[in-house]
């Protein structure tokens, strides 16, 4: 596959000129990280599934949301512009979920406004996986999308993107985003989820509840609101993890003498991993009509006991 | 609009209630808090975090509102110790609540309360009495508590008893003033009309047994269950309070049994 490096450089340098910090996939210690780059990246890495997902640019693992000084207020929002350069199409689908879920969230939206999305994927025709019937660019959020092939095709998904491409002197197609209609596949999975007792029992036996899947998952957006004590009184929002014991704990007396106090609604790895699947395949579709999993495969790669989400869903659908 | 920005309220009254709890009467510094019976709010103290508490005063009064706070954790201890004049942060009202108690879809109302979940019975029954709904509907209130010292709102219940059939049963009564047993014993022995809306406020285990004891009188569309979960955001995003496909903070805390059955939620 050939793609003129200078075309890519042109876009990269134009974005840089517009004062964006540019983040791209980069290999470090044999793993694919997302790092800030000064120079155009190697095109082989663009569009790859990075080890960690891009979500921490959208939802910082820890951010101050309220300062309790004389007046209670939100901190000043940063104006730093960031470009996420080389996101795969499935990562853009994950972005769509986050954009939808946090539609009314000021912190997310203020940050999101400063982010430029540059997607990069090979031919899109007939793209599908276990979680989507089909994917089309019209139903995917991005500013610039590069369809990588011998003669790359450029797309602009926003005015911001169109302006940059224009300045590069490139020909491009304009795409208008609209949220997709009901995805039948998602609802098929949703219908089956309660029939998978056998699968849930099996994975519940081997799951360690380590929570690695949630940290790499691009659609795991849950969070905790934490209050910091000490001289600086503030409330922070931190990435949550539904596999951790305090996720559902409520205060209260110990259920039995000698037991820890309070009550938990998720008590063992089986309940926890089912809760996790339920979020992806029931709650997100129920609330937003979107699939909560995009099939990027990061959780499967990260799982220390080899739980394979794609395999499990395939098995579920065969029932 | 920032969903996480709390309002400041002043404690205008605080008194001790049974079960190691305290009733705080609050008034917003600016404006009023309009709410429905069953709705809750996040109460917070800078540096101590926030947690959900049911608003337990009558929803017909939006000038003042009350919370009954039981000392069970770090924050609740702090909150219950607040005195008149102290300030507290309020985020709410949140959740669904009963927007019209006249439209419960039954001629009679039966409350089943247990443990500290009983707090939520208070705004509902207060609204019923203040709106004189008890004159059109038969109201029964069954309350199961551990022992005499755990009975919440004991004095007020005498007042409620004028408009409703109030029955208390205790697991370990210390005197013979109260019947010994659990709430299902009341269901089995009392006369409960056929056409009844059931409102349950208590632990889920109580719901399971009460539903079984009520048998056919428990119609899923007219049985309301108040659910409790850990909550953070209060707007249905953070996932802490997820219950099947629902969020207790947004789709609840009042659920009909029908909603839960349809979604296969196990109690």
- Please report, for residues A271, A315, A317, B243, the alpha-carbon distance to residue A196 in angstroms, rounded to integers and kept in the order given: 13, 9, 9, 18
Taking the model in full, what pTM does it have? 0.92
Q: What is residue A48's predicted lDDT score, i.e. its pLDDT? A: 87
What H or E segment, with its residue span, contains residue A76?
none
One pLDDT digit (tens) per residue for chain B, 267 residues: 899 999 999 999 999 999 899 999 999 999 999 999 999 999 999 888 999 999 999 999 989 999 999 998 889 999 999 999 999 999 999 999 998 988 888 899 999 999 878 999 999 999 999 999 999 999 999 999 999 999 999 999 999 999 999 999 999 999 999 999 999 999 999 999 999 999 999 988 899 999 999 999 999 999 999 999 999 999 999 999 999 999 999 998 999 999 999 998 988
What's the number of CA atoms in the CB half-sphere (13 Å) around residue A208?
9
Residue B55: count of CB within 10 angstroms of its CB: 30
Note the pLDDT of residue A2: 42
Which residues in A lie closer than 8 A to residue B7 (C-beta atoms)? none
Is B266 touching A (CB cutoff 8 A)? no
Helix or strand or coil: residue A68? strand
How many residues are recorded in chain A?
319
Question: Chain B residues with CB inside 8 Å of A76's CB?
Answer: none
* Residue given tokens 């399971």 in the structure block: B208
Cβ under 8 Å to A: B residues 79-98: 89
Mean of per-residue pLDDT scores for chain A: 88
Chain B residue with the nearest C-alpha to that of A231: B47
CA distance B256 to B262: 10
CB proximity B146 to A under 8 Å: no
Angle CA B224–B230–B236, to nearest 5? 75
User: Which residues face B14 on adjacent strands?
Assistant: B24
Region of A21 (left: φ > 0; alpha: ψ -120 to 50; beta: rest) is: beta
8 Å CB contact between A135 and A89: yes
Of A101, A227, A279, the CB nearest to B242: A279
CA B262-A279-B206 angle, to 5 degrees, is 50
Give me the residues paired with residue B243 across strands: B246
Domain extents for chain A? 5-179, 185-318
Distance (Å) from the alpha carbon of B135 to chain A's nearest alpha carbon: 38
Among chain A residues, the shortest Cα distance to B267 is held by A265
Q: Nearest chain A residue to B7 by CA: give it.
A: A72
Domains of chain B in sequence order: 7-93 (2.40.30.10), 101-226 (3.40.50.80)
- Interface contact A253-B72, CB threshold 8 A: yes
Question: Among candidates B100, B106, B93, which has minimal Cα distance to B124?
Answer: B100
**Does residue A66 have a pLDDT over 50?**
yes
Structure confidence by residue, pLDDT tens digits, A149-208: 778 889 999 999 999 999 999 999 998 888 776 677 778 888 888 888 899 999 999 999
Closest-CA residue of chain B to A265: B229
pLDDT value at residue A1: 38
**What's residue A192's pLDDT?**
86
Quote ipTM for the complex: 0.90
Least confident residue range of A68-72, A128-132, A252-256, B242-246: A128-132
- The answer, for B239 touching chain A at a CB cutoff of 8 Å, is yes
pLDDT digits over A27-50, tens only?
Answer: 888 889 999 999 888 878 888 899
Are A223 and B47 an interchain contact pair (Cβ–Cβ within 8 Å)? no
| Yes or no, beta carbons of B51 and A247 under 8 Å apart | no
Question: B242 at the A interface (CB within 8 A)?
Answer: yes
């Amino acid at each position: 596959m050939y793609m003129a490096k200078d075309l890519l450089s042109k876009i990269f340098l134009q974005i840089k000129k517009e004062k964006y910090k540019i983040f791209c996939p980069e290999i470090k210690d044999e793993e694919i990280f997302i790092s800030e780059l000064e120079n155009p990246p190697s095109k082989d890495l663009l569009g790859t599934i990075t080890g960690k997902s891009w979500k921490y640019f959208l939802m910082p693992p820890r951010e101050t949301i309220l300062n309790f000084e004389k007046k209670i207020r939100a901190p000043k929002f940063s104006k730093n512009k960031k470009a996420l350069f080389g996101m795969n199409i499935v990562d853009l689908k994950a972005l769509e979920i986050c954009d939808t879920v946090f539609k009314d969230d000021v912190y997310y939206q203020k940050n999101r406004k400063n982010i430029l999305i540059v997607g990069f994927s090979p031919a899109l025709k007939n793209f599908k996986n276990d979680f989507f019937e089909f994917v089309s660019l019209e139903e995917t959020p991005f500013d610039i999308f590069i369809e990588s092939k011998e003669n790359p095709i450029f797309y602009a998904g926003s005015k911001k993107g169109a302006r940059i491409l224009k300045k590069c002197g490139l020909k491009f197609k304009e795409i208008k985003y609209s949220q997709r209609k009901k995805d039948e596949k998602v609802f098929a999975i949703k219908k089956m989820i309660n029939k998978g007792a056998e699968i849930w029992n099996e994975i519940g036996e081997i799951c360690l509840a380590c929570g690695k899947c949630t940290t790499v998952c691009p659609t795991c957006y849950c969070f905790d609101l934490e209050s910091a004590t000490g001289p600086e009184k503030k409330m922070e929002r931190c990435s949550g993890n539904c596999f951790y014991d305090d996720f559902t704990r409520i205060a209260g007396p110990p259920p039995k003498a000698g037991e820890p106090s309070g009550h938990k609604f998720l008590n063992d790895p089986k309940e926890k991993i089912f809760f996790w699947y339920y979020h992806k395949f029931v709650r997100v579709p129920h609330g937003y009509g979107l699939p909560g999993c995009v099939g990027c495969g990061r959780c499967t790669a990260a799982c220390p006991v080899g739980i394979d989400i794609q395999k499990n869903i395939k098995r579920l659908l065969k029932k | 609009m920032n969903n996480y920005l709390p309002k400041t309220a002043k404690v205008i009254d605080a008194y001790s209630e049974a079960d190691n709890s305290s009733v705080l009467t609050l008034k917003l510094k600016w404006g009023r808090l309009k709410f429905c019976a069953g709705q809750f709010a996040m109460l917070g103290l800078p540096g101590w975090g926030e947690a959900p508490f049911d608003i337990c005063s009558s929803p017909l009064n939006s000038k003042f509102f009350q919370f009954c706070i039981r000392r069970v954790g770090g924050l609740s201890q702090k909150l219950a110790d607040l005195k008149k004049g102290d300030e507290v942060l309020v985020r709410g009202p949140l959740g669904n609540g009963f927007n019209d108690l006249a439209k419960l879809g039954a001629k009679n109302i039966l409350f089943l309360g247990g443990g500290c979940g009983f707090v939520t019975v208070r705004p509902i029954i207060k609204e019923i009495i203040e709106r004189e709904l008890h004159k059109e509907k038969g109201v029964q209130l069954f309350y199961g508590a551990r022992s005499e010292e755990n009975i919440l709102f004991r004095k007020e219940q005498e007042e409620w008893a004028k408009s409703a059939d109030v029955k208390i049963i205790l697991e370990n009564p210390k005197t013979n003033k109260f019947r010994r047993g659990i709430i299902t014993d009341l269901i089995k022995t009392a006369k409960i009309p056929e056409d009844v809306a059931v409102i349950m406020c208590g632990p889920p285990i109580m719901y399971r047994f009460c539903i079984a004891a009520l048998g056919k009188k428990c119609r899923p569309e007219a049985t309301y269950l108040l659910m409790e979960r850990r909550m953070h955001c209060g707007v249905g995003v953070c996932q802490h309070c997820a219950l099947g496909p629902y969020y207790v903070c947004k789709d609840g805390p009042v659920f009909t049994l029908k909603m839960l059955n349809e979604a296969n939620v196990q109690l």
